[in-house]
Amino acid sequence: MRERFRDPLTVSDIAEKARLGRFPFSRLFKDETGLSPGRYLTALRIHEAKRLIGDGPMSTAEVGAAVGYRGLDAFTDAFTAGTGLPPGHFRRLCRGQGQEPPAPDPGPGLPRGALAGTVRLPAGHGNARVYLGAFATPVVQYPAAAAAVVDVPADRPCCYTLQNVPAGQWHLLAVAVAAAGAHDPQAGWTPLVGDRATTVTVTADTVTSAALRLRPARPADPPVLLALPALTPPQSVEPQPGCAAAGAPPPAGRLRAVPAAPPSGA
């Protein structure tokens, strides 16, 4: 798929390449990635479209054709559904032209609870800035039901809270950029993701606890589609007494960066 996402691939084509029947292949593929082959292929196309729009001067029509869409409308609809922004707005976001990333959308009229816990980085990484959210599917795609941006230090877990999460079952997903070396600021940056197996059940008027560990991305992980805020890791993170994330919820439609704080007993 990664080599031929521009082609009009079918599930049968891919299953044949894997020397499996269509239905056994689809079942095994979803077990491994959390997505059907068709949805994974769409995610690859939109992810590549994000790169092309952010990196170069190609028009929206040219980008759509380059990633396998035969019509501009179909590409625009798919891109907007995955990222939360139309292609032109996403281009302005990438260029720092005043466009904001899409806000979480918890949906109307549902009973709400909260998610809270800790975020921990893999060993050997420096400070990180983490976007984490509650999603309906195991893909970081629009919309998040609730989200926050958290600064996590290299040497301790960090608290987070997601407020106003609709009651129900959600995938707790995270994307981060970390300093590649805990003690070398010149080592560059490393992308990290949360384990997609972290699913949580939120109950109305309660706080559900869930810990989240980050790790390097693996080849089978679905691409990140949601248009995210800049995740430049901070040079320093000041610990705070208690969990800074547990205060009052931010204004509607806004993400807040939560400074690191050691969890209770850490």
221 neighbors 194 (Cβ within 8 angstroms): no
pLDDT(157) > 60: yes
Exposure b/e, 20-41, CB count within 10 A at least 16 = b: eeeeebbeebeeebbbebebbb
Residues with Cβ within 8 Å of residue 142, at least 6 apart in sequence: 81, 82, 83, 84, 102, 105, 225, 226, 227
Residues with Cβ within 8 Å of residue 44, at least 6 apart in sequence: 1, 2, 5, 223
**139 residue type, one letter:** V
Q: Where are the alpha helices (DSSP H) in the chain?
A: 11-17, 22-33, 37-55, 60-66, 72-83, 87-94
Residue 226, pLDDT score: 97
Segment 152-156 mean pLDDT: 87
Q: How far apart are CA 85 and CA 79, in angstroms?
A: 7
Burial of 181 (0-12, 13-18, 19+ CB in 10 A): middle
Q: How far apart are CA 8 and CA 6, in angstroms?
A: 7
Coil/strand/helix, residue 213? strand
Residue 185, pLDDT score: 55
Q: pLDDT tens-digit profile of 109-124?
A: 789 999 999 999 998 8
236-to-121, 151, 174, 184, 241 alpha-carbon distances in Å:
15, 9, 21, 13, 16
Confidence of residue 244 (pLDDT cuts 50, 70, 90): very low
Q: How far apart are CA 95 and CA 75, in angstroms?
A: 21
Residue 186, pLDDT score: 56
Confidence of residue 180 (pLDDT cuts 50, 70, 90): confident
pLDDT(188) > 90: no
Strands (E) located in the chain: 112-120, 128-135, 146-152, 158-166, 168-179, 189-194, 199-202, 207-209, 212-216, 257-258
Q: pLDDT tens-digit profile of 8-36?
A: 889 999 999 999 999 999 999 998 888 99
Residues with Cβ within 8 Å of residue 174, at least 6 apart in sequence: 119, 130, 131, 132, 133, 192, 193, 194, 212, 214
96 neighbors 34 (Cβ within 8 angstroms): no
| Tokens representing residue 210 in the block | 């869930």
Q: How far apart are CA 121 and CA 157, in angstroms?
A: 7
